[in-house]
Amino acid sequence: MNTAQSSTDIVVESVDIAAPVARVWRALTDHREFGEWFGVVFATPFRPGETVHGSLTIADFAGLPLEITVREMDAPRRFVFSWHPYAVEPDHDYTKEPQTLIEFTLEPRDTGTRLTVRESGFDALPEARRPTAFRMNTKGWPIQLGNIARHVTSG
């Protein structure tokens, strides 16, 4: 791959949604709607440049703080924020660490909307915070997220 970023720095995922771009945009950028599918309650709306404080509602992480800093809101095509990835240790101070950047891109399709999320910046994280397979597994994220997916789709 001819890219400036290494394969350990970035993840990209896409999904096709049977709904207009404007509807998907709202699900992403309305802080209440974002909270519904992500599993977090935010106190205040998303605005460019602002850091928004939330509280996770995800099973084992319920009550843990989640902060995102909104970087760009270019309606209805591009929504960008940054965060400290996987910041789930209650006693750890993450504030001095670099953040990863999360970029959502919305593209109109005949069938609705192609939504792509790209998270980058993992290479800049301290070694102890790198997402290795072992660490990700032992913390139980995949299991928890599986639980949520089942809960949401059965609801």
- Min separation Cβ 37 and other proteins, Å: 4
Asked whether position 111 contacts other proteins by CB under 8 A, the answer is no
**DSSP-assigned beta bridge partners for residue 99:** none
Q: State phi, psi for 3 to the nearest 5 degrees.
A: -135, 150
Residue closer to other proteins, measured from CB, 23 or 71: 23
Q: Which of 5, 37, 44, 77 binds other proteins (CB under 8 A)?
A: 37
- Min separation Cβ 49 and other proteins, Å: 24
* Region from 45-53, 61-69, 72-80, 135-143 binding other proteins, contact rule CB under 8 A: 135-143
Indicate the DSSP class of residue 44. Answer: S
Asked whether position 132 contacts other proteins by CB under 8 A, the answer is yes
Asked whether position 64 contacts other proteins by CB under 8 A, the answer is no
Asked whether position 114 contacts other proteins by CB under 8 A, the answer is no
C-alpha 88 chain-centroid distance: 14
CA–CA gap between residue 144 and residue 129 (Å, rounded): 20
Residues 6+ apart with CB under 8 A from 155: none
Specify the amino acid at residue 28.
Answer: L
Asked whether position 45 contacts other proteins by CB under 8 A, the answer is no
Q: Which of 30, 33, 67, 97 binds other proteins (CB under 8 A)?
A: 33
**DSSP-assigned beta bridge partners for residue 106:** 115
